[in-house]
Amino acid sequence: MACNCLNTGLGEVFGERFARTEARRFRKHGLTRRAQQLIEVIRPLVRFHEATLLEGGAGVGGVSIELLRHGMRHATIVDAVPAAVRMARTLAEEYGVAHRMSGVVADFAHMDDDSVHDLVVLDRVVCCYPDWRALLEAAADRASRAIALTYPREAWWTRFGVSAGNAVLWLGRRHFRLHVHPPAAMHALLRTRGFAPRVAGRVGIWEICVAPRLAEG
């Protein structure tokens, strides 16, 4: 969950220790149920053997690695935390997909590389980003066929949990904060950019959204 925003204290929470922990968990258990379901809803969107992937806030790269193992042609992972990108490269080598994966340390919403990919994935990234509009605009600029993302469900108990988590972060003098952004507004922005967002599933507090690009004309 090493989400991607350079100015919100990410390194305090998602640093070297967190990356090692996430890598151990991935080696032992594979993807979480949420990430597995995300991959299942991605399957119909693109032909894996022809498609390229851009994953923002990729953390140690579990989703990208699994998509590459399922036949995705190439994946580029982007994360603001250098330790996460280093660990993702290590895992990619261990799973035999390093030759088809690139890693970039950058703020996804303001990265210099504007190359277009078939699919953009933002798994548990929106919740870590204060400016969700900049994040989704960047995704829309770079997705030629579809965007897939997960974010906290808009419910009172989700907001309560996030508030409690932020209180713990405040007590620990961490600068990082979690966010619950309005799904309706996020979907509306994607529609203005030519995508057709829909809720494709829910796992615990997480909502899974897929947004294929509408055919022009």
Query: CATH: 3.10.300.10, 3.40.50.150, 1.10.3720.10, 3.30.230.10. Which one for 10-152+183-212?
Result: 3.40.50.150
Residue 177 · residue 169 · CB < 8 Å: yes
Q: Please give the Cα distance from 111 to 138 (Å, whole number).
A: 9
pLDDT on residue 13: 65
- The per-residue DSSP string of 76-111 comes to EEEES-HHHHHHHHHHHHHTT-GGGEEEEES-GGG-
- Residue whose token pair is 């504007």: 114
- Backbone conformation region of residue 192, classed left if phi is above 0, alpha if psi is from -120 to 50, else beta: alpha
Structure-block tokens of residue 216: 């022009």
Instruction: Mark the ranges of the chain whose per-residue pLDDT is less than 70.
Output: 1-13, 170, 216-217
* Beta strand pairing call for 143-152 and 52-56: unpaired
pTM for the structure as a whole: 0.90
Q: Please give the Cα distance from 157 to 25 (Å, whole number).
A: 27
H helices present in 106-182, as ranges: 132-142, 156-171
Closest by Cα among 58, 53, 61 to 10: 58
What confidence tens digit (pLDDT) does each residue in 70-117 have? 999 999 999 989 999 999 999 999 999 999 999 999 999 889 888 999
pLDDT on residue 7: 45
Q: Please give the Cα distance from 178 to 168 (Å, whole number).
A: 11
Structure-block tokens of residue 135: 């994040």
pLDDT on residue 119: 98
Closest by Cα among 79, 57, 61 to 149: 57
Q: Please give the Cα distance from 109 to 4 (Å, whole number).
A: 8
Please give the distance of CA 20 from its chain centroid, rounded to a whole number. Answer: 18
